[in-house]
Structure 1
Amino acid sequence: MGQTKGQTKDLPYEVKSSEELGRYLVASRDLAPGEIILTEPPIVFGPKAMPDPEAKMPCVGCYKPIFTDVGERCSSCGWPVCSGNCPGLTDPRHHGLECQVLRARPECVLDNMADYYRHDALLPLRCVLLQKTDPERWRLVLDQQSHMESRLPGSEAYEEANEFIVEYLINNFIDKLDSGVKAKYLPEISKELLHRMCGIIDTNALEIRLPEGSELNGLYAQTSIMEHSCIPNTKHTFTVDTKDKNNLYNISVKVVIPILKGEHIATMYSHALWGTQARRQHLRDTKYFSCKCPRCSDPTELGTYLSAMKCMGDGKEVCDGIHLPEDPLDDETEWACSKCKVKLGNSQINGLIAQMGEDVDNVLMIGGSVPMLENILCRLSTFLHPNHYHMYSIKHSLVQLYGRQSSYMTEDILDKKIKMCKDLIFITKTLDPGNARLSLYSAVLHHELHSALVLKSKKVKSDGTKITVDEIKQLLAEANNSINIALDALKDDIEEASGKKLIDVIAKSKSDFERFCKEKNIDLL
Structure 2
Amino acid sequence: MGQENGTTDLPYEVRSSEELGRYFVATRDLVPGDVVLAECPLVFGPKAMGDPDASMPCVGCYKPVFTDVGERCSKCGWPVCSGNCPGLKDPKHHGIECQILSARPECVLDNMAEYYRHDALLPLRCVLLQNTNPVAWKKLLEMQSHMECRTPGTEVYDEANEFIVEYLMNSFINKLDGNLKKKYLPEISEQLLHEMCGIIDTNGLEIRLPEGSELLALYAKTCIMEHSCVPNTKHSFNLSKKDSDLYRITIKVVLPIIKDNHITTMYSHALWGTQARRQHLKDTKYFSCKCERCSDPTELGTYLSAMKCFGDGNETCDGIHLPENPLDEETEWACNKCKVKVNNSQINMLISQMGEEVDNVLMMGGSVTMLENLLCRLSTFLHPNHYHLYSIKHSLVQLYGRQPSFMSEDILDKKIRMCRDLINITKTLDPGNARLCLYTSVLHHELHSALVLKSKKVKSDGTIRTTEEIKPLLVEAKAAIETALESLKDELEETSGKKLYAVLEGSQRDFERYCKEKKIHF
Q: Structures share a fold, TM > 0.5?
A: yes
Q: Which residue of 1 aligns with 2:24?
A: 25
1:134-178 CA deviation, whole Å, 9 max, x = no partner? 110000110100000000001111011001100000010000001
Q: Which residue of 1 aligns with 2:122?
A: 123
Distance of 2:301 and 2:183 partners within structure 1: 59
1:47-90 CA deviation, whole Å, 9 max, x = no partner? 00110111111100011111111111000000000110111001
Q: Which amino acid aligns with 1:85?
A: N
Going from structure 1 to structure 2, the CA distance change for 1:173 and 1:125 (only over 3 Å counts) comes to: same
Q: Which residue of 2 aligns with 1:181?
A: 180
Q: Which amino acid aligns with 2:485?
A: L
Q: Is the 8 A contact 2:228 2:291 kept in 1?
A: yes
Distance of 2:142 and 2:270 partners within structure 1: 29
Q: How does 1:283-298 map to 2 (within 5 A)?
A: 283-298=281-296
1:102 aligns with 2:96: no
Distance of 2:407 and 2:39 partners within structure 1: 49
Distance of 2:476 and 2:469 partners within structure 1: 11
User: After alignment, is 502-511 or 392-401 more displaced?
Assistant: 502-511
Q: Which residue of 2 aligns with 1:47?
A: 46
Q: How does 1:140-289 map to 2 (within 5 A)?
A: 140-242=139-241, 244-289=242-287
Q: Which amino acid aligns with 2:73?
A: C
Instruction: Say which of 423, 426, 432 aligns to 2:424.
Output: 426
Secondary structure of residue in 1 paired with 2:216: strand
Task: Kindly state the Cα deviation for residue 466 of structure 1 after the two structures are TM-superposed.
Answer: 3.0
Q: Which amino acid aligns with 1:394?
A: I
1:359 aligns with 2:319: no
CA RMSD, Structure 1 to Structure 2 (Å) = 1.0
User: Unaligned regions of 5+ residues in structure 1, if any?
Assistant: none
Task: Kindly state the Cα deviation for residue 4 of structure 1 after the two structures are TM-superposed.
Answer: 4.9
Q: Which residue of 2 aligns with 1:411?
A: 409
Q: Is the 8 A contact 2:467 2:520 kept in 1?
A: no
Instruction: Say which of 379, 392, 397 aligns to 1:399.
Output: 397
Distance of 1:485 and 1:216 partners within structure 2: 30
Instruction: Say which of 502, 505, 510 aligns to 1:504.
Output: 502
Q: How does 1:383-398 map to 2 (within 5 A)?
A: 383-398=381-396
Distance of 1:191 and 1:463 partners within structure 2: 78
Q: Which amino acid aligns with 1:381?
A: S
Distance of 2:494 and 2:105 partners within structure 1: 35
Distance of 1:355 and 1:209 partners within structure 2: 30
1:348-375 CA deviation, whole Å, 9 max, x = no partner? 0000001000000000000000000000
1:391-412 CA deviation, whole Å, 9 max, x = no partner? 0000000000000012101110
Instruction: Say which of 465, 474, 477 aligns to 1:476.
Output: 474
Distance of 1:101 and 1:419 partners within structure 2: 59
Q: Which amino acid aligns with 2:232?
A: N
Q: Which amino acid aligns with 1:471?
A: E
Q: Is the 8 A contact 2:467 2:518 kept in 1?
A: no
Q: Which residue of 2 aligns with 1:462?
A: 460
Q: Which residue of 2 aligns with 1:316?
A: 314
Q: TM-score normalized by structure 1?
A: 0.98
Q: How does 1:5-16 map to 2 (within 5 A)?
A: 8-16=7-15
Q: Is the 8 A contact 1:4 1:38 kept in 2?
A: no
Distance of 1:448 and 1:307 partners within structure 2: 25
Secondary structure of residue in 2 paired with 1:183: helix
Task: Kindly state the Cα deviation for residue 518 of structure 1 after the two structures are TM-superposed.
Answer: 1.5
Q: Is the 8 A contact 2:416 2:451 kept in 1?
A: yes
Distance of 2:2 and 2:160 partners within structure 1: 31
Q: Which residue of 2 aligns with 1:374?
A: 372
Going from structure 1 to structure 2, the CA distance change for 1:74 and 1:2 (only over 3 Å counts) comes to: farther
Q: Which residue of 1 aligns with 2:493?
A: 495
Distance of 1:342 and 1:107 partners within structure 2: 66
Task: Kindly state the Cα deviation for residue 460 of structure 1 after the two structures are TM-superposed.
Answer: 1.4
Of all paired residues, the percent bearing the same amino acid is 76
Q: Which amino acid aligns with 1:245?
A: D
Q: Is the 8 A contact 1:4 1:222 kept in 2?
A: no
Secondary structure of residue in 1 paired with 2:262: coil
Q: Which residue of 1 aligns with 2:520?
A: 522
Going from structure 1 to structure 2, the CA distance change for 1:391 and 1:4 (only over 3 Å counts) comes to: farther
User: After alignment, is 195-204 or 402-411 more displaced?
Assistant: 402-411
Q: Which residue of 2 aligns with 1:71?
A: 70
Distance of 1:514 and 1:274 partners within structure 2: 37
Secondary structure of residue in 2 paired with 1:193: helix
Distance of 1:202 and 1:462 partners within structure 2: 59
Q: Is the 8 A contact 1:4 1:39 kept in 2?
A: no
Task: Kindly state the Cα deviation for residue 3 of structure 1 after the two structures are TM-superposed.
Answer: 5.0
Q: Which amino acid aligns with 1:468?
A: T
Q: Is the 8 A contact 2:2 2:13 kept in 1?
A: no
Q: What is the number of residues matched between the two proteins?
A: 522
Distance of 1:133 and 1:455 partners within structure 2: 60
Q: Which residue of 1 aligns with 2:447?
A: 449
1:486 aligns with 2:488: no
Q: Which amino acid aligns with 1:432?
A: D
Q: Which amino acid aligns with 1:270?
A: S
Q: Which residue of 2 aligns with 1:84?
A: 83
Q: Which amino acid aligns with 2:408?
A: T
Q: TM-score normalized by structure 2?
A: 0.99
1:377-420 CA deviation, whole Å, 9 max, x = no partner? 00000000000000000000000000001210111000000000
1:313-359 CA deviation, whole Å, 9 max, x = no partner? 11111100000000000000000001000000000000000100000
Going from structure 1 to structure 2, the CA distance change for 1:4 and 1:93 (only over 3 Å counts) comes to: farther
User: Unaligned regions of 5+ residues in structure 2, if any?
Assistant: none
